[in-house]
Amino acid sequence: MIRLAFVGTGWIGLNRMQALLATGKAEAVAVCDPDAAMAGRACEIAPAARLCASLDETLSLRPDGVVIATPNALHAPQCIAALERGAAVFCQKPLGRTAAEVEAILAAAGVADRLLGVDLSYRHTAAMQAIRGLVERGDLGQLFAADLVFHNAYGPGSGWFWDPELSGGGCLLDLGVHLVDLALWLFDFPEVAEAKATLLRDGGEQVEHYASASIELASGASIRLACSWNLPAGHEAVIRASFYGSGGGAEMRNVEGSFYDFTAERFNGRDRETLVSPPDEWGGRAAVDWLQRLANGERFAGTTTGLLQTARVLDRHYGRASPHKGADTAQTCAAQPTSRIVELR
């Protein structure tokens, strides 16, 4: 049995706990959350787990892995502390608020030689797996364009999302991280030539509620993104990832505004073929994949791919300079920032 500690047990943390324990391959040895009600619900699911008052107390139990689902500002210090104490880590997205934080976490994981997983869950949907299969087999030819959107008809309920010190950004970091990751993942994390964005925010807010962004690849391929909170979208959510190649196209999209049900189709000219339809229980699949890797003895080499590349593109979208130049320049957007923030009054 893999001994796991759970740090942060809100809705998403609790969901991942249930998915991991349901495998029968893990046990919860510790729960840590400053909210007594949230911690109490977690302890109902795992009554044998010790309720810990701090991260240090949690790590003193020497868990094999730590599952982190806390506000973004805590990800880097908590991940690094867990890794330095010899635990593998599974963290909610985004792994860090900036590429510098992501780079520091990766460095700690490398030194400790411990497995690091991130909950980039849409990679693990049956719909995206089907599209990736098409790309890997060359069925779509050479990819030259992608369009991805993630619009929510409501905004986050927790106040920390709107505090840039705690969140690191608005809807682009919260939702757009999935879009950037999916796009770069499908293109196999290629060299990025340019990335820019327009961020819209209300005058009273400090983070954006709507973002449109672009990524231009060195190959000439073009990626377009849009995401938002509180959009009058006509549905609970609009989620879509479309990819176009010289041999055809493919698209993942949500069904009737659902956050959970996705279909995938292949396009050939004006014709379309359904590849995947609901249902698909994908929510905890990234966490379970990490657990299986951990059970198999995988260490740093099995870490989720592309984390730093995605973080660097998001830094460019926010107009932040890359933390690294030199040997890794092929993965770095080196031009001066061209993103802009627009205040709505």
Q: What is the pLDDT of residue 203?
A: 79
Q: What is the pLDDT of residue 329?
A: 31
49 against 157, higher pLDDT: 49
pLDDT in tens, 321-339: 655 543 333 333 344 457 8
Q: What is the pLDDT of residue 159?
A: 92
Give the integer Cα–Cα distance in Å for 119 and 91: 6
pTM for this predicted structure:
0.94
Mean pLDDT across the chain, nearest whole number?
94
Neighbours of 289 (CB within 10 A): 17
pLDDT in tens, 166-202: 999 999 999 999 999 999 999 999 999 999 999 999 8
When pLDDT is averaged across residues 262-269 and rounded to a whole number, the result is 97
Q: What is the SS3 assignment for the chain?
A: CEEEEEECCCHHHHHHHHHHHHCCCEEEEEEECCCHHHHHHHHHHCCCCEEECCHHHHHHCCCCEEEECCCHHHHHHHHHHHHHCCCEEEECCCCCCCHHHHHHHHHHHHHHCCCEEECCHHHHCHHHHHHHHHHHHCCCCCEEEEEEEEEECCCCCCHHHHCHHHHCCCHHHHCHHHHHHHHHHHCCCCCEEEEEEEEEEECCCCCCCEEEEEEEECCCCEEEEEEECCCCCCCCEEEEEEEEECCEEEEEEECCCCCCCEEEEEEECCEEEEEECCCCCCCCHHHHHHHHHHHCCCCHHHCCCCHHHHHHHHHHHCCCCCCCCCCCHHHCCCCCCCCEEEEEC
pLDDT in tens, 187-240: 999 999 999 999 999 878 899 999 999 999 999 999 999 999 999 999 999 999
Give the integer Cα–Cα distance in Å for 213 and 233: 19
Domains of the chain from N-terminus onward: 2-121+285-304 (3.40.50.720), 134-276+313-344 (3.30.360.10)
Q: Helix axis angle, 11-22 relative to 285-295, nearest 10°?
A: 50
